[in-house]
Amino acid sequence: MGTTVGSNAASTDTGATIEPGINNAMVDRLDDVELGWRFKAVPAAAHGQSAGGYVNSGVHLADLQTPLLTLDAAVMAANVDRMARWCAEKGVLLAPHGKTTMAPQLWRQQLENGAWGITLANASQLRVGHAFGLRRVMVANTLSDPQAVTWLAGAQGPDFSVVSWVDSLQSVALLDATLAAIPEAVPGSDAVLDVIVELGGNGGRTGARTVAEALAIARAVHASSHLRLVGVGGYEGSLAHTADAGALGTVRGYLSAVKELHEHLLAADLYAADADIILTAGGSAYFDDVVDVLAGSATNGTSPSGAAGQRVELIIRSGAYMVHDDGFYRGISPFGRGAEAEAGHAPFASAMHAWARVVSAPEPGLAILDAGKRDLPVDEGLPEPQLLGHALGGEMATLDGATISSVNDQHSFLRYDPETTTVAIGDVVRLGLSHPCTAFDKWTLIPVLASAADDRVVELIHTFF
């Protein structure tokens, strides 16, 4: 089960306690999915078999086909455990952003290792979570589509707790009007939605731009008969993209404003009196700064405003830590730099690799691979050539000095030194990738290998983008 993170049960407005979880039967049923042409990693020889049956037949890396994305089970387990232990040490909760993988099998692994719940980004992702029986979800966005709001009003209940965000007076008015217009005959027509007021920053993404604006929004929520204010939060990752002193100063200044907003809301008694209060921020790049700045505001007991028994929980929402990468997050993760690295926290390791085959060698020092933008993420850096071998699953050697110079829709350009490296048609290259969020969305089925030393396929991960 791994390390349990903190006290992660949440109270509803009826006094019931909702435990985190997912419908295990629904997740297990993915093993029954019939393999076929829809899954590009699976060879034709496997078509007609169930996913679970195929894995149990004794599949290895060599039995798959390129282009291919694989995951490493041992690395994912180690990354999840490392993050769970860190959160337990810091006394914070984790609601990993499920949009990174959109893979219920991986969500379950995170929940079994103590996650408070799963964060999602929009209504379509929320429906996926509901279909697989997620019990507790944070939607880190404003729900502005009336159909989505109406659906949620009827779907939430004792087994499905959702908290979403608001960042404007208009969004509060829209939610109010939509909920008020639901016919009495519709289940959930008297539902009250739990919301968090979001503070943003200049040049950032969503969120009120000033504490004063956010306070006005909070007052509007407090006055609403359809909404309940249960927290404050935001996202610091859109305000910086590096770990230099200037970027970290921007991040920490923003987080200080989030803290200030929370203190104003407590002082004004704007939080719902029967709610556990949520204080949330933290992507995968600056979660250490989030905890450093905001942890003092999380009480895990009586709130500073004196409301007996009202908890203030700090929840981070890092999503990339489980899979990590060989690019952007490798360079910026707190466990790879700064105080956390100095404190002895081992860095996360990349659990994802791409495998591509040489289909053409038209010039000396140039090989064209059979994987492109349809298969590989490129938004946070080009793939990194790592290993070269004559066959998938065969012996591979380190590919020193090679680069991917560009990526087309279906091809990548491998540049290498022909004086020191020989590349032939049919050779296979293992690639390191940057940014798991834009790797997973290109694959409906992802084989999981046991470890770097054991290339048995131990699971097939299904994604739902």
Q: How far apart are CA 180 and CA 352, in angstroms?
A: 46
Reported confidence tier of residue 5, pLDDT bands at 50, 70, 90: very low
Domain boundaries, the chain: 10-23+75-323, 34-71+348-462
Q: What is the pLDDT of residue 426?
A: 98
Count other C-beta atoms under 10 Å from residue 245's C-beta.
Answer: 8
Question: For position 437, what pLDDT does the model report?
Answer: 96
pLDDT band at 346 (very low <50, low <70, confident <90, very high): confident
Give the H/E segment covering residue 53.
helix 51-56
Nearest to 447 by CA among 63, 48, 45: 63
Q: Over the stretch 28-40, which tens digit does the pLDDT of each residue have?
A: 999 999 999 999 9
Q: What is the structure's pLDDT at 184?
A: 76
Between residues 308 and 178, which one has the greater pLDDT? 178
Instruction: Specify the higher pLDDT residue, 233 or 345.
Output: 233
Helix and strand tally (H, E) in the chain? 13, 20
CATH of segment(s) 34-71+348-462: 2.40.37.20
Judge whether residue 153 has pLDDT over 50: yes
Percent of the chain with pLDDT over 70: 92
Residue 9 has pLDDT above 80, yes or no: no
- CA–CA gap between residue 463 and residue 283 (Å, rounded): 21
DSSP three-state, residue 161: strand
Q: What is the pLDDT of residues 349-371, one digit of tens each?
A: 999 999 999 999 999 999 999 99
**Percentages of the chain per state (helix, strand, coil), in multiples of 5:** 30, 25, 45
Task: Please name the residues in contact with 234: beta carbons below 8 A apart, sequence gap of 6 or more.
Answer: 198, 199, 200, 201, 207, 254, 258, 280, 281
Distance (Å, rounded) from C-alpha 318 to C-alpha 282? 6
Q: Is the pLDDT of residue 120 over 60?
A: yes
Q: What is the pLDDT of residues 121-142, one digit of tens each?
A: 999 999 999 999 999 999 999 9
Burial (Cβ within 10 Å: 0-12, 13-18, ≥19) of residue 203 = exposed
CATH number of 10-23+75-323: 3.20.20.10
pLDDT at position 350 is 98
Position 2 scores a pLDDT of 37
* Phi, psi (rounded to 5 degrees) for 190: -100, 20
What pLDDT does residue 222 have? 97
Q: Note the pLDDT of residue 337.
A: 81
Q: Dmax of the chain from CA atoms?
A: 77
Which residues are bridge partners to 71 per DSSP?
352, 448
**Summary mean pLDDT of the chain:** 92
Q: Is 90 exceeded by the pLDDT of residue 213?
A: yes
pLDDT in tens, 61-107: 999 999 999 999 999 999 999 999 999 999 999 999 999 999 999 99
The string of pLDDT tens digits covering residues 377-434 is 999 999 999 999 999 999 999 999 999 999 999 999 999 999 999 999 999 999 999 9
Residues 6+ apart with CB under 8 A from 177: none
Quick one: average pLDDT of 291-296? Answer: 94
Residues with Cβ within 8 Å of 44's Cβ and at least 6 positions away in sequence, in order, are none
Query: Which of 157, 155, 149 minimizes the C-alpha distance to 180?
Result: 149
**Angle 6-207-132 from CA coordinates, rounded to 5°:** 50
Whether 10-23+75-323 and 34-71+348-462 share one fold: the answer is no
